[in-house]
Structure formats: structure tokens, C-alpha cells
Homo-oligomer: A and B are copies of this chain.
């Protein structure tokens, strides 16, 4: 399967869009006309259709097969949600139309908020953040804003467990916080004593993922929250693993002050090859006043938008996260998912997700090593590479061999606290037959690895659109765009 680039297929005199030439064209551009038209190839529509269909066939998606990526919740993406998001009443409205003409859109935002608040037991939700990491940024800004408002501006440290997502320290650092890491216990959970030891009057917040990145629920989370609050700090929870606990526990009841929610994980909005996401942040009563603008408020039966920092209802707002009001297209999809599941279906979804992960773990633990076997897994099953010792095969090799079996690999080498980690999240949308086939495949691979069939692993994948790619070469002399003549790499150094 080979497919050229549009720059090789297309021609600048061809176009796949028929646009009339305006009559009597006169420019009012003040001499700033483009001197050289952009050198962009055009494709006729048949050519474009074929090109992108062919590219798509080099991809793997949830619809292709099981997608066991830990911490990423690749679940079924209902097409109903796509259809709903494309209703003209949602897709063809402008963020700056008069609010009287977008009451239905504001109602969607209100309804989505209600669901998120009920599921989390929190006081407020900020819808604007555009993805999980953006939500983290928003939540941490709210914490900083709260400290500033309380004359606690000197708090400049954020405590983050070693097992955290990379975005956590990156987010904290990006708004000027110093990151203080704490190690995990041998059982994969955070030690409340280690937290206490790390806390001080300098600490602004603790950032914790719960269920954590080892796939475990932090049993001491309530104590940790209490310790954090006692130290005058806030408790930020990473919501990446929210899918394990819908309808089972409300994070507000655990003492969390802020958590972002990846609508593209738990609430099934499509990952789309890396976005768009949406990362609403739920906030505790203490942080609620510091939510960013805009927000929707009800006013005499009509809904309206508070768009300006400092306006009534947004006096303490942390500011603005981006233009306009957030990822409306994703809100509609997530709400459609919630309405479809209902309270009962959402709890069932979490139970099934957790059940499936534990089933996978229980079905493989005789062949693959489980670093933290003593606790039930949540919606992810974590393995390390102890079982590969002496085989000459690495975690990465197992991942690539899985591709040859028709699967997307699991998450590998994360969390960092486990050596050669393999993190498997089947989600609730796999059938038992599908899980059984996946388990059988992994068992077969494990036996092959132990039997010394190294070629099957080291050279893998053999049957994918590409064999392993030379990432070093890509990074050493980066070629980041197509050029007629020489690659850009040389110049880029």
C-alpha cells in the first residue's frame, strides 16, 4: 500500500472546488496583495477522495479492532453522536450570534454541566478548556487564583507523584510552579505519610490521578485530601481515569478541589487521530468563584453568557482560556452519550470496564507479571516486563508483535514507576468474545516469547503498512514538510 503526497499527485492549476470568478473585481487591500500565489497543489474531487480513502486504510481505529490503550479510554464512538453534532442547529451557529438565537446551545451547555456536576458531586464546572491538558491548566490556574485572592501567593510548590501523567508536571511548571515529586509505595499507591512529608506552607496543590496510573484506586485518598487541605493546599485530580468510577463514587465526596474531564475518553467523543478533545474542569465550592469566562447563567428563564472577566457573576474569574466558549461540538457528543447511557448505563459502563480489565489481568497473570497483584485493578490492567527477563525481548517488541496479530498495542513504558510497563485498558465496549481472543493472542505471544521465538518480536511488525520506522533519523535531520528540492532538514539544524 503506497500513496504519494498531495504535492506529488496534485497540480496547482487543478481544483476540486468550483468557484465563480467575481465580476468587476477590484481589490481594497491597500497594496498588500499577495505577490506569489501559494504553491498549493489542487486535486480534483475523484483524486482527493481516493487519496484520503487510501490514507485512511493505513490507519487503525476502534472500529478496526480492540484498542487496549491504558489511560486513554479508547471506547466505542457512537455515530448517533456524530449525527447530533452535525444538526444545523448545533454545527451551523456562530459563537457570537445574539444569545437570543442560541438558547438551545446554551441549554446543551447547561445540561452537560448538570450531568458532570451530578457525577462528580462538585460545585461548578468550567466548560471552556479545549482538551485534558488545557483543563489541567485551567484547574491549576483556578488554584493559583484562589491562593492569590487569599494572599497565599507565596505558595510556589506543587506536589506530584512520580507516576503522574507527563502533562501534570508540565502544567504546573508552565504557570510558574516548582514541582516536588513523591515516590509511590511498593503496592503502587501513594503513601499518605509521603504526602504529609512533602506538604508545607509553600505548597499550593497536590496533583494526583485517581484511579492512579498503575490502575489502582488510591485507598487513602480521603486521608490524603484531608492532609492537603490541612496544609492550606488544594487537591487537583487528573480525570484521565474517570471512566472507572462513574456512578460508583463522586470525587467531590473524596475531597477533590478540581478535576478535568476528558470528554474524548470517558464520554466517547472521538480521538480523531489526536484531537479535538474537550477538557471541562469541575471545581469544589472553594474554587468555584475562580472559574474562567465565559459561563452560562440563567436569568429570568432565558440563558445568557457571561463573557467578560469582571462582569457580574465573574468577578473573581481566573480570566479567559481561549476565544469563544469551548468545544461545543464535543459537548453535544458527550451529552448524547450521557443521555443514551443514563444513570444506570453509566454505572454499568464503569462496572463493565473494571470487570473487563480484571478479567484480562486474571486471564494473563500466570504468564505475564503483575507488579501490584494485591489490589483489584480498576479499568486498566498493569503488567511489567519481569516475565520477559532473559528472553531478549522488550516491552516495545511485544507491542510491535501485537500489531502483527491485528491489534493496536497497549500503552507501553507508562507509568514510569514500573519497569517496562504494559498498561491494558479494554473499556466496557468490548464483548467477552473479543476479550477472549485478545487474551488468547497475548497468551500465544507470551508463550512464544518464553519459547525463544525472538524473530517474531524483534522484527515486528511484519504485516503492517510499514515496518519499524527510523525515529532517530527523523529527529536528527528533521524533514517537517515537503519540498520540491532538498529536504528541509539541513537548514533546520
Do B78 and A50 touch (CB < 8 A)? no
**Which of B46, B63, B64, B65 interacts with A76 by CB under 8 Å?**
B46
Taken together as a complex, chains A and B put the C-alpha atoms of A76 and B9 apart, in Å, by 17
Name the B residues within 8 Å of A18 (CB-CB).
340
For A315-348 the 0/1 string (1 means CB < 8 A from B) is 0000000000000000000000000100000000
Interface: A96 (CB within 8 A): no
Nearest CB on B from A408, distance (A): 13
Nearest CB on B from A348, distance (A): 12
Report the nearest B residue to A8, measured CB to CB. Answer: B433
Taken together as a complex, chains A and B put the C-alpha atoms of A340 and B18 apart, in Å, by 9
Interface: A386 (CB within 8 A): no
Known: A9-B433, A44-B431. A76 touches B49 (CB 8 A): yes
Interface: A53 (CB within 8 A): yes
Interface: A468 (CB within 8 A): no
**Which of B45, B50, B434 interacts with A65 by CB under 8 Å?**
B50
For A198-211 the 0/1 string (1 means CB < 8 A from B) is 00000000000000
Interface: A57 (CB within 8 A): yes
Taken together as a complex, chains A and B put the C-alpha atoms of A433 and B6 apart, in Å, by 13
Interface: A436 (CB within 8 A): no
**Which of B64, B75, B431 interacts with A47 by CB under 8 Å?**
B431
Taken together as a complex, chains A and B put the C-alpha atoms of A45 and B53 apart, in Å, by 23
Known: A57-B57, A431-B44, A433-B9. A64 touches B50 (CB 8 A): yes
Known: A54-B64, A64-B50. A45 touches B431 (CB 8 A): no
Taken together as a complex, chains A and B put the C-alpha atoms of A5 and B401 apart, in Å, by 27
Report the nearest B residue to A406, measured CB to CB. Answer: B1
Nearest CB on B from A318, distance (A): 39
**Which of B53, B63, B429 interacts with A53 by CB under 8 Å?**
B63
Nearest CB on B from A69, distance (A): 16
Known: A64-B50, A64-B53. A45 touches B9 (CB 8 A): no
Name the B residues within 8 Å of A50 (CB-CB).
62-65
Interface: A218 (CB within 8 A): no
Report the nearest B residue to A427, measured CB to CB. Answer: B46
Nearest CB on B from A403, distance (A): 14
Name the B residues within 8 Å of A433 (CB-CB).
9
Task: List CB contacts (< 8 Å) of A13-55 with chain B.
Answer: 18, 44-47, 49-50, 53-54
Taken together as a complex, chains A and B put the C-alpha atoms of A46 and B65 apart, in Å, by 10
Report the nearest B residue to A65, measured CB to CB. Answer: B50
Taken together as a complex, chains A and B put the C-alpha atoms of A181 and B249 apart, in Å, by 81
Interface: A430 (CB within 8 A): yes
Task: List CB contacts (< 8 Å) of A406-437 with chain B.
Answer: 429-431, 433-434
Report the nearest B residue to A342, measured CB to CB. Answer: B18
Nearest CB on B from A31, distance (A): 37
For A363-385 the 0/1 string (1 means CB < 8 A from B) is 00000000000000000000000
Nearest CB on B from A66, distance (A): 9
Nearest CB on B from A241, distance (A): 21
Taken together as a complex, chains A and B put the C-alpha atoms of A78 and B62 apart, in Å, by 27
Name the B residues within 8 Å of A76 (CB-CB).
45-46, 49
For A70-91 the 0/1 string (1 means CB < 8 A from B) is 0000011011000000000000
Nearest CB on B from A349, distance (A): 12
Taken together as a complex, chains A and B put the C-alpha atoms of A433 and B14 apart, in Å, by 13
Name the B residues within 8 Å of A429 (CB-CB).
44, 46
Name the B residues within 8 Å of A53 (CB-CB).
63-64
3 smallest A-B Cβ distances: which pairs? A46-B76, A46-B429, A53-B63
**A interface residue numbers (CB < 8 A to B):** 9, 18, 44-47, 49-50, 53-54, 57, 62-65, 75-76, 78-79, 340, 429-431, 433-434
A-B contact pairs, 26 of them (CB 8 A): A9-B431, A9-B433, A18-B340, A44-B429, A44-B431, A45-B76, A45-B78, A46-B62, A46-B75, A46-B76, A46-B429, A46-B430, A46-B431, A47-B431, A47-B434, A49-B63, A49-B76, A49-B79, A50-B62, A50-B63, A50-B64, A50-B65, A53-B63, A53-B64, A54-B64, A57-B57
